[in-house]
């Protein structure tokens, strides 16, 4: 049976533009869901065997069972198990009990709650604040068929320029053209391949979006082209908030055009983010979207051809209203005796300043004539920022390939850009989380994705960086990024730079394979990175493997994610060729039979398993993606 989608309508859904294929609305309810309009829930029993895949970028495992997830894009740098929301809302889930499977997409722009065996260990219950939505039920014989059908209806995934598969160095803290140049120089001195250096918020004048500080970057155009001549792309950060500053043209234009989000009383919402007080562009309005999108041309006119859209949940540090509420609360507390309850109240007040749910209810969107309160469509904000940029690139830079990825996301944004998984920590557990997030992101169409390699917050260690790189070699987006104030983690800061060079060279040698597998997955609505159980569904031993992944058609990977581990256990569902790489030319191979094995992997060694009947193409090492010879490849046969 070919996979098939049915669409069901509840209430008065807001059109999200997540789904591109028009599917007639069926009568009744989805066959597999018990719908309770009174309770605003949709539920389904799970058997002991059922694996629940999906939800894109979230905490916890590939199998989502046993937790409560809330789709409500959140600016929260603490990606811990106890959290319910991260930056993304990708409401696609797939239930597989080993013999039958079924997929659901809940097309709703507001909060969606997934209780997957949390309240009742055998039940999955999806609930909504407003049950106005389309539900897509997808039936098919296998998980991969269901994913392909889902991806068909949501439209093709974004394909970035080839150079965006290179290695990128970033850090919140590079301030000047000199800082950026120095990073490139140091990589070149050590012969470590690199294609991108990122510019975090400090390149702007007072954090004003679409400005470049003329003192820190005296001649940006020349600087960008100087870097490009060296084969290096500079990729700036773009935040949505527009600084309130009379005379700043983006602010003046936005105000005049009525492009900012307004409160109930018709005045613009004033929130604070990096620039201080800002207004938020109303990306849900097509005129505002076009206006903001066109502003990227200022940057592309400078020769810039890559962007990372940030803070677009949108993150709110505070609004005037929350701030005065907090001050009032503090004044009250000041006059009370600070007992333990007073102390808790005090702390609660301080914690309520940023990303306060009340603030998301304070402003409205003009969805082309329809006034809608922000919280009802919260998850569409970043999608439409990414779309503003993507549509503008098509309009203003026809034929040019531009790198674009975002922090927050919603299905639909996958057509315009990729995502990175936000402010993770330099923790071993976050390397494992990265491994688990990748297949889920791929299911939902976000193929161009990756995490801050080495970890963003907290201090990294040389061994964590090395092991993380050994995984990121296989993620389409490969960026080393870290936070202000943390240990510097450019690869030249460490001792074993030869090992780092060998590992990055290995990535570059594998780019022909990675790029081909990626483009094929994008064109055929397939997954570039998959859980083992997708390809080896009939092997019961594969059903709960969450730390080995299939990459493209030809290889399986098994990264090391434990500190001080000198190897790891792997399960092979069939005979495979194990390649233990130390560098492009230095590796040993061993045929391993189906079954459990312990493999030794020194700190500088990467495990790749070639599937029988397949081979792994490898290019000669190159310093830039543009220098890779895609024609003359050597092949390691499986
Ligand atoms: C946010 C981003 C992070 C960036 C920082 C400063 O925390 O997620 O990547 O470095 O803002 O722009």
What whole-number distance in Å separates Cα of residue 301 and Cα of residue 511? 29
- 618 Ramachandran zone, left/alpha/beta (phi>0; psi -120 to 50): beta
Question: DSSP string of 547-606?
Answer: S-EEETTTEEE----STT-SEEEEEESS-EEEEEESSSS-EEEEEE-SEEEEEE--TT-E
CA 480 to ligand 1 center in whole angstroms:
13
Per-residue pLDDT tens digits for 94-111: 999 999 999 999 999 999
286, containing H or E segment: helix 286-300
Are 192 and 333 members of one domain? no
Phi, psi of 305 (to 5 degrees): -135, 30
Range of the domain at 329: 321-351
Q: Do 136 and 237 fall within a single domain?
A: no
Q: Which residues contact 402 (CB under 8 A, 6 or more apart)?
A: 161, 300, 305, 306, 307, 393
pLDDT tens digits for range 258-290? 999 999 999 999 999 999 999 999 999 999 999
Output the CA–CA distances (angstroms, integers) from residue 360 to 92, 125, 230, 356, 411, in the order listed: 24, 25, 45, 7, 20
Question: 183 and 67, same structural domain?
Answer: no
Residues 17 and 108 in one domain: yes
Q: Is 359 a catalytic residue?
A: no
Q: Which two tokens stand for residue 319?
A: 């609004």
Ligand 1, atom 10, lies closest to the CA of 172
Do 540 and 462 reside in the same domain of the chain? no
pLDDT (tens digit per residue) in 167-212: 999 999 999 999 999 999 999 999 999 999 999 999 999 999 999 9
Confidence label for 638 from pLDDT (cuts 50, 70 and 90): confident
Whichever domain contains 77, its CATH number is 2.60.40.1760
Alpha carbon of residue 124 to chain centroid:
25
| Ligand 1 centre distance from Cα of residue 546 (Å) | 28
CB 528 within 8 A of CB 521: yes
Which of 318, 407, 485 is closest to 77 using CA atoms? 407
Catalytic choice (268, 310, 359, 547):
310
Q: Does pLDDT of 337 surpass 90?
A: no
Q: What is the pLDDT of residues 20-53, one digit of tens each?
A: 999 999 999 999 999 999 999 999 999 999 999 9
Are residues 124 and 223 both part of a single domain? no
313 is catalytic: yes
Atom of ligand 1 nearest to the CA of 172: 10
Query: How far is residue 209's CA from residue 201's CA, in Å, rounded to a whole number?
Result: 9
Q: What single string gives the DSSP state of each residue in 230-279?
A: TT-EEEEEE-SPEE--TT-HHHHHHHHHT-B-EETTSSBP-EEETTEEEE
Overall pTM surpassing 0.85 (yes/no) = yes
For residue 132, indicate whether it is catalytic. no
Q: Is residue 368 part of a domain?
A: no
CA of 195 to the centre of ligand 1 (A): 21
Same domain, 325 and 396: no
Whether 115 and 250 map to the same domain: the answer is no
Name, in order, each residue with C-beta under 8 angstroms of 308's C-beta and a sequence gap of 6 or more: 198, 235, 236, 237, 238, 404, 405, 406, 407, 420
* DSSP-assigned beta bridge partners for residue 345: none
Same domain (yes/no): 211, 277? yes
Maximal CA-CA distance, the chain = 77
Closest CA to 447 of 33, 44, 159, 95: 159
Phi, psi of 271 (to 5 degrees): -125, 170
- From the CA of 171, give the closest atom in ligand 1: 10
> 467-505 pLDDT, tens per residue?
999 999 999 999 999 999 999 999 999 999 999 999 999
CB 599 within 8 A of CB 570: yes
């Amino acid at each position: 049976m070919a996979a098939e989608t049915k669409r069901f309508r509840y209430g008065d859904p807001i059109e999200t533009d997540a789904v591109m294929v028009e599917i007639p609305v069926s009568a009744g309810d989805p066959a597999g869901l018990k719908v309770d309009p009174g309770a605003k829930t949709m539920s389904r029993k799970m058997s002991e065997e059922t694996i629940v895949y999906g939800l894109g970028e979230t905490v916890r495992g590939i199998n989502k069972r046993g937790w409560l997830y809330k789709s409500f894009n959140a600016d929260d740098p603490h990606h811990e198990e106890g959290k319910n929301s991260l930056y993304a809302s990708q409401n696609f889930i797939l239930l597989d009990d080993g013999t039958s499977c079924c997929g659901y997409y809940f097309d709703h722009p507001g909060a969606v709650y997934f209780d997957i065996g949390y309240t009742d260990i055998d039940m999955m219950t999806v609930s909504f604040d407003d049950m106005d939505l389309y539900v897509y039920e997808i039936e098919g014989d296998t998980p991969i068929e269901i994913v392909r059908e889902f991806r068909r209806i949501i439209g093709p995934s974004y394909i970035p320029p080839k150079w965006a598969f290179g290695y990128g160095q970033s850090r919140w803290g590079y301030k000047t053209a000199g800082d950026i140049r120095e990073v490139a120089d140091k990589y070149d001195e050590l012969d470590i391949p690199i294609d991108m250096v990122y510019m975090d918020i400090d390149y702007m004048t007072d954090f004003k979006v679409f400005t470049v500080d003329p003192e820190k970057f005296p001649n940006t155009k020349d600087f960008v082209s100087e870097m490009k001549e060296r084969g290096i792309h500079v990729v700036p950060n773009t935040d949505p908030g527009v600084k309130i500053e009379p005379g700043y043209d983006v602010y003046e234009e936005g105000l005049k055009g009525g492009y900012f989000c307004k409160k109930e009383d018709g005045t613009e919402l004033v929130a604070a983010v990096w620039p201080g007080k800002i207004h938020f562009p109303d990306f849900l309005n097509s005129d505002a979207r076009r206006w903001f999108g066109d502003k990227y041309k200022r940057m592309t006119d400078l020769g810039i051809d890559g962007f990372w859209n940030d803070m677009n949940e949108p993150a709110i540090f505070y609004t005037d209203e929350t701030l005065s509420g907090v001050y009032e609360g503090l004044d009250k507390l000041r006059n009370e005796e600070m007992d333990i309850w007073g102390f808790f109240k005090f702390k609660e007040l301080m914690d309520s300043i940023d990303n306060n749910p009340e603030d998301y209810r304070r402003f409205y969107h003009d969805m082309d004539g329809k006034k809608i309160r922000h919280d009802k469509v919260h998850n569409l904000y970043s999608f439409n920022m990414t779309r503003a940029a993507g549509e503008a690139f098509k309009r203003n830079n026809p034929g040019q390939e531009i790198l674009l990825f975002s922090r927050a996301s919603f299905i639909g944004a996958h057509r315009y850009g990729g995502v990175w998984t936000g402010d993770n920590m330099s923790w071993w557990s976050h390397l494992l989380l990265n491994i688990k997030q990748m297949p889920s992101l791929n299911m939902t169409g976000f193929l161009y994705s990756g995490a801050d390699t080495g970890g963003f917050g907290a201090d990294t260690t040389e061994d964590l960086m090395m092991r993380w790189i050994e995984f990121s070699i296989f993620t389409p987006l490969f960026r080393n990024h870290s936070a202000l104030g943390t240990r510097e983690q450019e690869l030249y800061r460490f001792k074993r730079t030869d090992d780092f060079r060998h590992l990055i060279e290995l990535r570059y040698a594998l780019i022909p394979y990675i790029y081909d597998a990626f483009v094929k997955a994008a064109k055929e609505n397939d997954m570039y990175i998959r859980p083992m159980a997708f390809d080896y569904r009939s092997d019961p031993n594969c059903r709960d493997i969450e730390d080995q992944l299939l990459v493209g058609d030809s290889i399986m990977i098994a990264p090391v994610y434990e500190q001080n581990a000198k190897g790891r256990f792997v399960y092979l569902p069939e005979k495979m060729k194990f390649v233990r790489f130390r560098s492009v030319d230095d590796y040993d191979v061993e045929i391993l039979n189906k079954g459990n094995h312990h493999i030794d992997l020194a700190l500088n060694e990467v495990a790749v398993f070639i599937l029988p009947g397949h081979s792994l193409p490898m290019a000669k090492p190159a310093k830039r993606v543009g220098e890779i010879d895609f024609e003359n490849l050597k092949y390691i046969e499986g």
